[in-house]
A and B are shown apart, each in its own frame.
Chain A
Amino acid sequence: MDTTPYVVLSAILFTIGTVGVLTRRNAIVVFMCVELMLNACNLALVAFARQHGNLDGQIAAFFVMVVAAAEVVVGLAIIMTIFRTRRSASVDDASLLKY
């Protein structure tokens, strides 16, 4: 079975994730889109692992998951802190650091 469809799917998911990060304003949804992008990468890694017949791709995907877990923990904590002080989870509202 061919690898290309998997990788194309991965590319499409990644693009959708990118557009989501750029257009959504709810910080949590933005975060979800980031996760979507990471998952798309994972799919490509796993697909290529099978293509090349070694497990390094799967290991890489595993590490990505670990890092994603850590990132989500800290990121959501930050979102919570911001929400606690500003009563808003919109990324546009945290725009004081500007000209």
Chain B
Amino acid sequence: MTAFWILAPVMVLAALGILFVRKAVHAALLLAVVMISLAVLYAALDAPFLFAVQIIVYTGAILMLFLFVLMLVGVDASDSVVETIRGQRVLAVAGGLVLGVLLVLGLSQLTLGTVVGLDEANSGGNIEALANILFSRYVFAFETTSALLITAAVGAMVLAHRERLTPKAGQAERAAQRVRDFSEKGTHLGPLPSPGVYARHNAVDTPALLPDGTPAPDSVSRVLSSRGTVRSAPALADDIEQVRRSIDGVPGGASGEQATATGHNTEQHSLEEEGR
């Protein structure tokens, strides 16, 4: 009973939290709290099998499915607090209160008597007892659930399936398209130029140099240039001095300082590049 009195307020608070939090992710986490608490209560209620199933199926599978969908939809998507349907919230709360009062009133009129307990039923082990009932009295319902699950799986696949409206382009089509682009728009026919390879730099953020000494914009990824993290080609020459000094054995070359300077230069040049 201790478990109950500890967990019940937690569950109610978590459930109420689902009503009030704005982010769906938080609601999912609060739901997880409620479900795990429920699992503990199942254990307390002599239902070890359901305890496991609650953890595995509900918390593990179903709730994870929720989270996957939330990620697809967008984790940040938060509800607006403003109610759009006039009177909906008031009526919903009122209806909920009436429902709760009715349920509690109904329960208060019941006299449940003494608890029989499941010690006898569970005497051969809870899982074995459940299996006995499931595969004898409820075998038809059990088999029907299998049909239900298959149907659900097929339904989910059908719903998630996206129809291809145009035929998939093969290698031949893509090659033809490239040649067509070249003839019509002058797009470069070959592959894009690879990033620059220098004595001390060969990462993808280092642009290659064109014959006239300017960086080739195509040689770095568009994403990197839009983030502004492309190294400036002239800045690559900045550490020559430092290197020469270190070769000459001059101590006290603050590499950290140098690094920040380099970074600074990088930003500056990338801005210039963008301006172009």
Which residues of chain A have a CB within 8 Å of any CB of chain B? 1-9, 11-20, 22-26, 28-29, 31-33, 35-36, 39, 42-43, 46-47, 49-56, 58-59, 61-63, 65-74, 76-81, 83, 89-90, 92
Contact = CB atoms under 8 A, between A and B. Distances in A.
A92 to B, nearest CB: 6
15 contacts: A3-B115, A4-B110, A8-B104, A22-B88, A23-B89, A26-B24, A28-B73, A31-B66, A36-B34, A46-B47, A51-B112, A59-B133, A72-B66, A76-B66, A80-B72
Nearest to A70: B152
Contact of B18 (A33, A43, A62): A33
Q: For the complex, would chain B's binding face be called helix, strand, loop or mixed by DSSP majority?
A: helix
B95 A22 contact: yes
Nearest to A25: B79
A59 B130 CA distance: 7
Minimum-distance CB pairs A-B, first 6: A53-B116, A22-B92, A70-B152, A19-B96, A77-B159, A15-B100
Contact of A18 (B91, B96, B104): B96
Q: For the complex, would chain A's binding face be called helix, strand, loop or mixed by DSSP majority?
A: helix
A95 to B, nearest CB: 10
Given A59-B133, A65-B57, A89-B73, A12 B42 contact: no
Contacts of B92: 19, 22-23
